[in-house]
Amino acid sequence: MEKRNIIVIGASAGGFEAIKALVASLPADLDAAIFIVWHMSPDVTGVLPQVINQQKTLWATNAVDREPIIANRIYVAPPDKHLLLEHGYVRVSRGPKENRFRPAVDPLFRSAAYIYGPRVIGIVLSGALDDGTAGLWTVKNRGGVAIVQEPNEAVVPSMPENALAAVAVDYRVPIAEMAALLVKLTAETVAETEETDMEEQKKTALETSIAADGHALERGVLALGRPTHYACPECHGVLAAIADGDLIRYRCHTGHAFSADSLLVSITENVEETLWSAIRGVEESIILLNDLGDHYADKNQPKLAAVCFQKAKEAESRADIIRQTVFSHEQLTTNSLRNQAEEAEGAQEAG
């Protein structure tokens, strides 16, 4: 009988301190391999292993492509690289971004679940938006254990909250209790689980391979879901909608992947950028029209100059309208929508 000895951890904003605290509490002889994705800028030096090693518990390194998996070791995704698991070794790749990140949490969780099934323990820590939710769903779907940090103690609770909303999480615990829980879980043998649905298994295998080598179109990514009207924020390709139980997410034919949350954030950000671009264009026309008006006035063409100045005034009015739209534009997330729905329900009950 196998034991639960594959631990995958995902974190973003606020997750650095959470990872440090968790590792500091782990026993040095923990009989498991740990894999960590922490969102970071692609040009940031991968310092997380150095920080972890200062805790003097398990040894941590930035993962190297195709290095063997060893128990009692921590593997950290390097900057700008996805971390994936294979049978007995790791993969490190520059596959398409997921949820606007590389490394992203979902590819790690998904690959671990595909290869190691019920031996996997998935942990979602502090972070913004919902990277890790779809991956944790796959971990749970394939018989693994799903854990989230108690959102009330997370610096940024969105990642744990979104996972709780979409996945039948097994444990919701503060960092202070997580190490003891992992010691308990890694000592247990894996129970027999039902076979995973064959179509679901093929889907997981395909998406894991996309993260590894990026050959999305050739591998049949378009068969994963129904086409939508949305353009990929990364490459502007058509996005397909993919269902994971009650979850909905999106992937384009080049391989970029988005949760509903990350797509909503990207689209609403693009709306603001487009509006500012419109303001810039209108203001450039105002400057040009006023310059032309001055030119025609100098050339003793007052009627033509007056038309230019009038058109500049009209353009100023249009710019003001667009500017008001920018200031009233709302940056949306699924959490903000959920909060607004709860507030509306509360107001209705109070009324």
DSSP state, residue 68: B
CA angle 333, 337, 341 (to 5 degrees): 170
- What does the alpha-carbon distance between residue 348 and residue 137 come to, in Å, rounded to a whole number? 33
Contact between residue 72 and residue 58 where contact means Cβ atoms under 8 Å apart: yes
Query: Coil, strand, or helix at residue 84?
Result: strand
Query: Coil, strand, or helix at residue 50?
Result: helix
Token digits of residue 267: 């689209």
Look at residues 165, 223, 154, 193 and name the one whose alpha carbon lies nearest to residue 1. Answer: 193
* Catalytic residue, candidates 93, 111, 126, 131: 131
Query: Coil, strand, or helix at residue 34?
Result: strand
Report the amino acid identity of residue 237. Answer: G
* 12 given a catalytic annotation: yes
* 29 given a catalytic annotation: no
Query: Coil, strand, or helix at residue 101?
Result: strand
Query: Coil, strand, or helix at residue 253?
Result: coil
The answer to whether the peptide bond before residue 96 is cis (omega within 30 degrees of 0) is no
Query: Coil, strand, or helix at residue 154?
Result: coil
Contact between residue 263 and residue 239 where contact means Cβ atoms under 8 Å apart: yes
Radius of gyration of the chain (CA): 25
DSSP state, residue 54: T
| CA 308 to chain centroid | 49
Contact between residue 201 and residue 171 where contact means Cβ atoms under 8 Å apart: no
* 41 given a catalytic annotation: no
Residues assigned a catalytic role? 12, 39, 131
